[in-house]
Structure 1
Amino acid sequence: MKAMKRAAAALTAVAALFVAGCSSSGDEEGPGPTPSGDRSGRPDDGKASGMRGMTLPSWNTEDYRSPQAGTYLRQIAATGARWVTFTPTWYQDRITDSAMRVTEETASDDSLRAIVRQAHDLGLKTMVKPHVDIRKGGDRAEIRPKDPDAWFAAYERFITHYAQLSAEAGVEQFSVGTELAGTSEDGERWGKVIAAVRARYKGPLTYAANYDEYKKIPFWKDLDVIGIDAYWPLADKATTDAAALREAWQPVVKELAAFSERQHRKVLFTEAGYVSQRGSTTAPYSWTVSKRDGDAEQAAAYEALLAVFEGKSWWAGVCWWMWDDWPGSGETAKRLAYTPHGKPAEKVLRKWWGKG
């Protein structure tokens, strides 16, 4: 998501601003690296297709090594998912700061390694998608450092740390960034960051752009797949009409197909999701659309997305945001949160992914 859970209220205020686990038409899956693997380094050599999966974020140091971790992974696999995405997060206090740092909310390296091993033991492939978030108000898309040189130097240290860890752990796909719209038009500096990542990690690379950011990215040519966090509003008011939602997707489908063709890369939905609240299709990026249950609307939105994009040759899949929260960390009640677990939306997933 474009902000951490503790910033849920801020999401509503910034709404106008506005792979991974994923699903596509076939059963083929892109090749992933081994700790000693190698490839030519050309972006087109890394493919990311046929992915079906779920994001399992962390909010505390040991979430990924907690007793609940294995349970969540087994539940995710039981939906028919083949991939799971992990989101270690560093923080900066303000959007103008020149560096990010580890806090008590950052997953420890050992916990990240442990959950990657658990996922592999269950037959799941993995993606690591590191996040940067803001501690004192603001959204990561608004980061505009006062000293860009210092910020990019710090960011390169941050992202290559996880690139190296991912290479050593055998992670199958890696994201070089997530929703950093305030910096992502700087192609020269991002090109340097991507080159540093490629020097350490030999598998497929993406970047998770906001749905209103992806057209402005100048460095897709340096990556293997176009990543988009697909939180397009689909309705003006609450609806459970899957047919109407499918129709609302049509202009986006046309736009993305043309963009994929121009960039010579597939499009991966690095995130997509809907809270189970009435009106979730009007603002999919918000944790706090309403206080009214919206299970049927969430399920209709899942159905519409999969029905519209499944089978598109240029579509690399969808990484759903998100599975259950860790005990004690949820700020949004499960019945209203993004998780599809135990809701009609999980039945939709199982139907499309062959576990229904």
Structure 2
Amino acid sequence: METINGMTFGFMSQRGNWQDPMSRESLRKMKEELAVSHVILPITVTQAHPQATKIDWQSDSVLSDAEVKGMIAYAQEIGLKVILKPMVNVADGTWRAHINFFDHDVPCEPTWSQWFDAYRDYLNHYARLAEETGCVMLVVGCELVNSDRRDAQWRETISQIRQHYHGLLTYNCDKYQEDQLIWWDAVDVISSSGYYPIDKWEQELDRIEKVVKHHQKPFFFCEAGCPSREGSQYLPNDWGLPGEVSMMAQSQWFQRMFTACDKRNWVQGFGIWDWKAQLYPREAALKDDDYGVYGKPAAKIIREFYKSTK
């Protein structure tokens, strides 16, 4: 696997968002300002609640196939390699990690089997789309922590996906879960969400390194980011952490992450979180306390690191 100097683009975009010319302008700015080589395009769909077995991937609010294909084609036209990332959110606001069912099927209760049937329909559709459009990688799941223990069902899911898509497959496990999965051998690339505290990078990389060496698979952080907010450098996964706007907190976090990871040749890239399809005005950047880096000092740190690793 080649180095992934990547960025996640357009999370939570809904139908019509990627047809807006401003979204393509945003993607162009992302490439130019951060020197990225890869873009991760998330297709976000929902299920009603954590025990729902219907996934609304054909809803009228979901990005249309035409606009997804159009955005992939534009990204490739401007020199970006595309990683497609179908994602499931829970409509009631519950984090997707808490999607869960009984370990053993019980009459009249929703089951893992029902959920995986729905999930495979969703993933197989986008596997065919990724194959058709020449995406270099497909992410088969993201932070579905309670499902991680369903070894046989994940293996069957991945086997089906391989019938439709012949590029690289990865699963984006959640932070601290890299050494919990027992089915890494079923995918081509190990990846995780690298939201680690600024002062814990070395110990977490030591832990992850054992997993990578055991499986002898490529590894990258499919997500990694930090809000520009006081205290977020110590708890970067908490998007609701209260605190004043702080460009320094975000910049320090990125610098520490890159410094730590640069010493580990098995870390082969990042899909930094995140870049909006509809950007805030540049003059508002220093008032923004979210994960975005547009117009912020962290953007320069990312650009310099990515240019040094090309």
Relative to the length of structure 2, the TM-score reads 0.90
Deviation at 1:291, TM superposition (A): 4.1
1:161 aligns with 2:122: no
1:217 aligns with 2:181: yes
Match of 2:289 among 332, 336, 347: 336
Pairing of 1:298-309 with structure 2 (within 5 A): 298-309=250-261
Q: Output one character per residue of 1:5-54: Cα deviation in whole Å (capped at 9) or x when no partner.
A: xxxxxxxxxxxxxxxxxxxxxxxxxxxxxxxxxxxxxxxxxxx3311010
The 2-side partners of 1:65 and 1:133 are apart by 22
The 1-side partners of 2:121 and 2:235 are apart by 34
The 2-side partners of 1:150 and 1:160 are apart by 16
Tell me which residue corresponds to 1:4. Answer: none
Match of 1:95 among 50, 67, 73: 50
1:185 aligns with 2:149: yes
1:252 aligns with 2:204: yes
Tell me which residue corresponds to 1:208. Answer: 172
Question: SS where residue 322 of structure 1 aligns?
Answer: strand
Tell me which residue corresponds to 1:151. Answer: 115
1:121 aligns with 2:77: yes
The 8 Å contact of residues 265 and 314 in structure 1, kept in 2 or not, is answered as no
AA matched with 1:198 = R
Tell me which residue corresponds to 1:136. Answer: 92
Pairing of 1:289-300 with structure 2 (within 5 A): 289-300=241-252
Question: SS where residue 126 of structure 1 aligns?
Answer: strand
Relative to the length of structure 1, the TM-score reads 0.79
The 8 Å contact of residues 55 and 321 in structure 1, kept in 2 or not, is answered as yes
**How many pairs align?**
293
The 8 Å contact of residues 59 and 105 in structure 1, kept in 2 or not, is answered as no
Report 1 or 2 for greater relative contact order, CA contacts < 8 Å, sequence distance ≥ 6: 1
The 1-side partners of 2:119 and 2:113 are apart by 10
Deviation at 1:251, TM superposition (A): 0.8
The 8 Å contact of residues 58 and 64 in structure 1, kept in 2 or not, is answered as no
The 2-side partners of 1:271 and 1:293 are apart by 22
Q: Output one character per residue of 1:141-193: Cα deviation in whole Å (capped at 9) or x when no partner.
A: 00014311111111110001100000001111111101111111111000000
Unaligned ranges ≥5, structure 2: 102-109
- How big is the alpha-carbon RMSD for the aligned residues of Structure 1 and Structure 2? 1.8
Q: Which has the higher strand share?
A: 2
The 2-side partners of 1:270 and 1:94 are apart by 25
Match of 2:40 among 82, 85, 105: 85
Question: SS where residue 217 of structure 2 aligns?
Answer: coil
Tell me which residue corresponds to 1:66. Answer: 20
AA matched with 1:214 = E
The 8 Å contact of residues 233 and 252 in structure 2, kept in 1 or not, is answered as no
The 2-side partners of 1:333 and 1:351 are apart by 20
